[in-house]
Amino acid sequence: MLLRPGDHLWIDAWIPRHDPLWNADIAVASAWVGAWWGAALGRFGVGDLTVHRGRADPGRHGRLVCFSGRGPGELFLGERKVMGISQWRSRQGSLFHTCAYIRWEPGPLVELLDVDPSVREGLIKDLARSAIGVHDLKRVPGLDELRDSLLASFPAWERDIPPRRA
């Protein structure tokens, strides 16, 4: 990942093991995170978002650029990733790192990678189709508003969580 000042929104969520949102199944544990982001974007009229509920799938370029793959709980508009998740777990709970780009521009990232120059342009084109920035959704007014929407909607998910499994 390439993160530059002002080009992304990064939000972490710590879920202690005793919290109703905590789930032992890694593939299920982050589904609520995608739903949370989807609801926050829905407040701006963004629809047709789906949460990936399957196992991780790196896809064609995921081993090189993680944002081009699919992970449990990640949010998509069609085949394009809107929000990605990384999950860290311990005996005490789970930490979910979430990130959405304001504009998805894979060129600067690819320029930093050690890839053959002959494949660079094709890689950039492939990656450009794998994700979308929140400003490209045309309805999200700004980072502060999206952050505030996420923070305001966080507690509401307690009523919509899947059954807890030990």
For the chain, 166 residues long, give each residue's pLDDT as a single digit of tens.
Answer: 888 888 999 999 999 999 888 899 988 899 999 999 999 999 898 989 999 998 999 988 888 898 889 999 999 999 999 999 999 999 999 999 999 999 999 999 999 999 998 989 999 999 999 999 998 987 777 888 999 989 888 754 454 545 545 4
Confidence at residue 157, expressed as pLDDT on a 0 to 100 scale: 47
Confidence at residue 64, expressed as pLDDT on a 0 to 100 scale: 87
Confidence at residue 78, expressed as pLDDT on a 0 to 100 scale: 95
pTM value surpassing 0.85: yes
CA 68 to chain centre: 11
Cβ neighbours of residue 126 closer than 8 Å, sequence gap 6 or more = 60, 61, 68
Confidence at residue 166, expressed as pLDDT on a 0 to 100 scale: 46
Confidence at residue 155, expressed as pLDDT on a 0 to 100 scale: 56
Class of domain 8-153: alpha beta
| Nearest CA among 42, 109, 29 for reference residue 74 | 29
Question: Where do the structural domains in the chain lie, given as residue ranges?
Answer: 8-153
* Cα 135 from Cα 91, distance rounded (Å): 37
Confidence at residue 162, expressed as pLDDT on a 0 to 100 scale: 52
